[in-house]
């Protein structure tokens, strides 16, 4: 017995020596970035590592694109005790989760058009939608304002009034809650009224290109009376990532997508029956979802001018937050269903996209939607150009910020997954504007600084570890 | 600083040396044993399985409430030996595959995965035992401490629950047992990513562990013993090779009626973040009350997700009753059918929840009804000619 005790004690002493010098915060953050970005792309790294390298190259091309590519890191950071930390003053409200966008930011505000020709603005990206505390969404949206301001300042030599922009988001959020509390219908940000130069420009471009069926003109051509996809240059450009383009899918891919569409489910009732003729693979789109499978399918109309373009896009799982998910779980069978249903719940009008749906094949999940040029997105670079050129002013960004805040608020209150619970408890925030401001802005400023610092670390990682951040590729499949 | 390419730091040498000694020893002893034992080759095959299932009613502080039936574990395994050769295969079901899995969607699939699959040699002498295996091996710490842990149906050890150790990994184990396993010393060399992930960096994790029996008595109702466990790990994890160093110690007491234990683990590098230092502490006890039909159990877990912040910790307290409905031999809690009823209270500091700053997202109370079925049996045991 004594011999055992002595031996164990000796081993304890030995092991104590094995520990443990401090690690600098920035070095640790750098390895964390490399690890978590690799974790987020494991499947794609095995499937097509070049696409991951191209995504990283696209993230490198601007601070805002880097921000767009790191939403899963944001959710991890929220669970990290070291995150620039501002305890929420709305603990009680935050405890009751609402349906979140998951990644709200300026460029996820876009345009839709209804069957009566009305055009309106709404949030349009729900790839990592989840249930959770409202302030996680609001802080992400306000952070995007600070990141956009920093990005614009660096690229276009203007001095944005970032605090004023950010305050506009809070004001828009609270104003919308106040209006709903007082009995008003949710704000419809439509092209029927002036919405500020930025959103007006969004509508103008959408109406122009949408009416021209620009999506058909740009991506397709008619050959022997049949619409087919043009061949585009989808090779990586000088910056290392592909320009947005479509090339005809291989016969195997086309058959695969047709089969997906044939068994797809749609939000609209009665269920739609989809028969696609041609299928193309879209490359170069998005940032976060850049390496995901993304196909376009032509659904023939009565005439060639009535043809419809559907996007079939791979959706992957969201970062796991065990204590949030443990009780309620996700009431969906697939990630594509989660995204499509959430998009429909956030929609200002039901006819913005009648083709919204989802399809599944084994472990792969897809979201389906119609693609028209009536759907345009806010573009931070375009804002920078116009601010730099003097065409737009801070007032226009403030107007956009208020709209973005309002759209988020109405989604938080109204969106529901189960048809019962929603975020009406958030209406209490209508009387807490200044507290919400103080609760949100310091976090967003600090986290935007974190993003900027991470962006430098990320560039350094690419330089030192290579285009895949040192990820081992192909080891699991000799 | 964080990278741990194999052999690049001097600190791994003591543990590696221990592993090498144990490995060489095991091979040498195996050869001796093979030479000296000319008797017919013996064959043995054992089958075992665990099934833990529960009903849970959970209430969150001002948050979502709900209840659910869950299958916590369904595991079958087989261990076999042919002469000096040993092999084992253990397959478990799991509810939570992880994000980025290529099969099933996160948390929404029930899939089978290999928990243990190892093969190697084992030789036994009068006062010693050596074993060297490779494959998907059990983490030495989990394997060691669970020899004295009788509440596995309710929860894994706190260090495993905190994510500081994974119960298995791909690699190799060399283990030496002396004086009828009163002292067990082992060394492992593993990928470091855990049993369900592919290797993501060039570094390997080196683990050393030991278990010593500091007290062993026979009392009138049966044997009791007190074991001291220690382990250390120098490792790296993830594509960034963040450090994943661990140091832990535990005491487990098993008697004919009560059992109890304490476990403490410190973790340098948590959740791919090399700068975070975490810690876990667990204490538990269980005892029958006069008869096998009724017993009491209690457990306290504390997890520091980052020791730099006072608010970055969670507490979980569990109290309840159990009943050994079916008992196999005297292996209380190791085989048979046991039912638990428990009340569990969990509290998180401001920074310890899924969303830092929302304290109550981690605050919950639960009522749990757990059924634990464990069994083990020899399906084949013979020498040549039997």
In this predicted structure, what is the pLDDT of residue A412? 96
What is the rounded average pLDDT of the residues B369-380? 90
In this predicted structure, what is the pLDDT of residue A282? 93
Is the pTM here over 0.90, yes or no? no
How many cross-chain Cβ pairs, A to B, lie less than 8 Å apart?
278
Task: Check whether A4 has a pLDDT greater than 90.
Answer: no
Q: Which helix (H) or strand (E) holds B278?
A: strand B273-289
Task: Check whether B3 has a pLDDT greater than 50.
Answer: no
Q: What is the pLDDT of residues A319-367, one digit of tens each?
A: 777 666 654 556 787 889 999 999 999 988 888 888 999 998 877 899 9
* 314-373 of A, contacting B, C-beta below 8 A: 316-330, 332-335, 362-363, 365
Distance between CA atoms of A65 and A63, rounded to whole angstroms?
5
In this predicted structure, what is the pLDDT of residue B36? 47
Residue A6 CB-half CA count within 13 A: 3
Closest-CA distance of chain B to residue A241, Å: 22
Closest-CA distance of chain A to residue B351, Å: 5
Distance between CA atoms of A235 and A99, rounded to whole angstroms?
38
In this predicted structure, what is the pLDDT of residue A85? 66
Q: Residue B15: which of A7, A18, A136 has the nearest Cβ?
A: A18
Distance between CA atoms of A458 and A449, rounded to whole angstroms?
14
In this predicted structure, what is the pLDDT of residue B108? 58
% of chain B at pLDDT higher than 70: 80
Q: What is the pLDDT of residues A389-400, one digit of tens each?
A: 999 999 999 999
Lowest mean pLDDT among A426-435, B139-148, B308-317, B377-386: B377-386
What is the rounded average pLDDT of the residues B365-372? 95
Contacts of B86 (CB under 8 A, 6+ apart): B79, B80, B119, B120, B121, B122, B131, B133
* 52-81 of A, contacting B, C-beta below 8 A: 76, 78-81
A94 in contact with B, Cβ within 8 Å: yes
Stronger pLDDT, B77 or B380, i.e. the higher one? B77
Distance between CA atoms of A29 and A448, rounded to whole angstroms?
15
Q: What is the pLDDT of residues A160-190, one digit of tens each?
A: 999 999 999 999 999 999 999 999 988 899 9
**Interface predicted TM-score (ipTM) of this complex, two decimals:** 0.76
The CA-CA-CA angle for residues A323, B270, B22, to 5°, reads: 120
Residue B140, both tokens:
């030495």
Q: What is the pLDDT of residues A219-233, one digit of tens each?
A: 888 888 888 898 877
Task: Check whether B311 has a pLDDT greater than 70.
Answer: yes
In this predicted structure, what is the pLDDT of residue A195? 92
In this predicted structure, what is the pLDDT of residue A23? 65
Closest-CA distance of chain B to residue A282, Å: 22
Lowest mean pLDDT among A79-83, A169-173, A206-210: A79-83
Q: What is the pLDDT of residues B99-140, one digit of tens each?
A: 545 455 555 567 788 899 999 999 999 999 999 999 999 999
In this predicted structure, what is the pLDDT of residue B9? 43
Under DSSP, the state recorded for B248 is E
Contacts of A245 (CB under 8 A, 6+ apart): A232, A233, A234, A282, A283, A284
In this predicted structure, what is the pLDDT of residue B65? 77
The DSSP line for B224-237 is: EEEEEEEEEEE-EE
Query: Hey, of A17, A41, A319, A323, which one would you mutate to test binding to chain B, going by the most B CBs within 10 A of its CB?
Result: A323
Q: Are B157 and B106 in contact (CB under 8 A)?
A: no
Mean pLDDT over the full length of chain B = 84
Mean pLDDT over the full length of chain A = 88
Contacts of B14 (CB under 8 A, 6+ apart): A14, A17, A18, B208
What is the band of B5 on the pLDDT scale with cuts at 50, 70, 90?
A: very low
Interchain contact, B2 vs A362, CB within 8 Å: no
């Amino acid at each position: 017995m004594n011999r055992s005790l002595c031996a164990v004690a000796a081993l304890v002493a030995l092991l104590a020596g094995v520990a443990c010098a401090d690690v600098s915060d920035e070095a640790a953050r750098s390895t964390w970035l490399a690890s978590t970005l690799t974790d987020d792309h494991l499947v794609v790294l095995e499937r097509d590592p070049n696409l991951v390298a191209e995504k990283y190259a696209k993230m490198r091309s601007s601070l805002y694109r880097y921000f767009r590519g790191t939403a899963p890191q944001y959710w991890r950071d929220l669970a990290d005790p070291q995150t620039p930390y501002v305890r929420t003053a709305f603990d009680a409200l935050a405890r009751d989760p609402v349906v979140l966008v998951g990644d709200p930011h300026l460029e996820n505000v876009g345009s839709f058009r209804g069957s009566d020709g009305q055009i309106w603005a709404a949030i349009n990206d729900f790839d990592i939608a989840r249930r959770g505390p409202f302030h996680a969404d609001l802080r992400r949206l306000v952070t995007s304002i600070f990141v956009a301001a920093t990005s614009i300042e660096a690229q276009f030599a203007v001095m944005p009034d970032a605090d004023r922009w950010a305050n506009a988001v809070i004001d828009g959020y609270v104003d919308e809650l106040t209006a709903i509390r007082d009995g008003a219908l949710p704000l419809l940000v439509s092209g029927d009224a002036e919405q500020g130069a930025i959103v007006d420009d969004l509508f103008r471009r959408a109406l122009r290109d949408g009416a021209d069926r620009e999506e058909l003109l740009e991506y397709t051509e008619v050959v022997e009376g049949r619409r087919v996809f043009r061949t585009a240059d989808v090779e990586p450009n000088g910056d290392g990532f592909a320009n947005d383009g479509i090339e005809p899918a291989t016969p195997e891919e086309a058959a695969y997508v047709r089969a997906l569409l044939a068994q797809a489910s749609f939000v609209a009732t009665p269920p739609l029956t989809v028969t696609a003729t041609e299928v193309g693979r879209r490359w170069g789109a998005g940032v976060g979802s850049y390496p995901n499978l993304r196909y376009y399918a032509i659904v023939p109309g009565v005439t060639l001018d009535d043809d419809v373009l559907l996007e079939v896009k791979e959706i992957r799982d969201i970062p796991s937050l065990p204590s949030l998910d443990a009780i309620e779980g996700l009431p969906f069978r697939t990630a594509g269903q989660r995204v499509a249903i959430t998009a429909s719940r956030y929609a200002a009008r039901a006819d913005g996209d009648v083709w919204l749906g989802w399809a599944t094949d084994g472990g792969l999940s897809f979201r389906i939607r119609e693609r028209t040029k009536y759907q345009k997105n806010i573009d931070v670079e375009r804002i920078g150009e116009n601010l730099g050129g003097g065409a737009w002013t801070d007032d226009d960004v403030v107007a956009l910020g208020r709209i973005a805040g309002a759209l988020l608020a109405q989604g938080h209150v109204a969106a529901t997954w189960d048809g019962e619970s929603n975020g009406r408890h958030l209406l209490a925030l209508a009387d807490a504007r200044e507290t919400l401001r103080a609760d949100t802005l310091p976090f967003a400023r600090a986290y935007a600084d974190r993003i900027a610092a991470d962006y430098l670390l990320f560039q350094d990682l690419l330089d030192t570890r290579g285009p895949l951040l040192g990820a081992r590729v192909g080891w699991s499949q000799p | 600083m964080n990278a741990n390419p194999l052999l690049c730091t001097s600190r791994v040498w003591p543990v590696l040396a221990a592993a090498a000694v144990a490995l060489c020893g095991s091979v040498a002893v195996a050869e001796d044993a093979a030479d000296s034992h000319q008797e017919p080759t013996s064959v043995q095959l054992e089958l075992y399985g665990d099934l833990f299932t529960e009903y849970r009613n959970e209430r969150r502080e001002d948050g979502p409430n709900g209840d659910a039936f869950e299958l916590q574990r369904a595991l079958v395994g087989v261990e076999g030996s042919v002469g000096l050769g040993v092999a084992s295969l253990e397959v478990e079901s799991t509810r939570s595959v992880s994000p980025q899995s290529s099969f099933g969607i996160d948390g929404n699939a029930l899939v089978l995965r290999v928990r243990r699959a190892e093969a190697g040699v084992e030789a036994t002498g009068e006062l010693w035992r050596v074993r060297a295996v490779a494959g998907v091996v059990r983490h030495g710490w989990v394997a060691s401490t669970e020899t004295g842990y009788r509440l596995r149906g309710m929860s894994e050890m706190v260090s495993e629950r905190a994510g500081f150790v994974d119960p298995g990994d791909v690699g190799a184990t060399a283990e030496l047992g002396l004086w009828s396993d009163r002292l067990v010393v082992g060394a492992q060399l593993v990928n470091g990513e855990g049993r369900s992930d592919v290797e993501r960096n060039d570094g390997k994790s080196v683990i050393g562990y030991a278990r010593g029996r500091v007290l062993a008595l026979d009392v009138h109702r049966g044997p009791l013993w007190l074991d001291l466990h220690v382990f250390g790990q120098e490792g790296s994890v993830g594509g960034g090779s963040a450090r994943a160093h661990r140091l832990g110690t535990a005491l487990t007491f098993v008697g004919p009626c009560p059992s109890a234990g304490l476990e403490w683990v410190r973790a340098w590098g948590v959740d791919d973040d090399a700068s975070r230092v975490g810690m876990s502490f667990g204490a538990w006890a269980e005892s029958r009350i006069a008869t096998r039909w009724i017993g009491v159990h209690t457990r306290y877990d504390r997890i520091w997700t980052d020791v730099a912040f006072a608010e970055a910790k969670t507490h979980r307290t569990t109290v309840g009753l159990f009943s050994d409905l079916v008992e196999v031999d005297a292996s209380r809690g190791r085989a048979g059918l046991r039912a638990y009823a428990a009340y569990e209270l969990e509290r998180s500091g401001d920074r310890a929840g899924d969303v830092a700053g929302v304290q109550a997202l981690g605050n919950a109370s639960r009522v749990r009804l757990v059924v634990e079925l464990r069994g083990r049996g020899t399906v084949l045991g013979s020498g040549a000619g039997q």
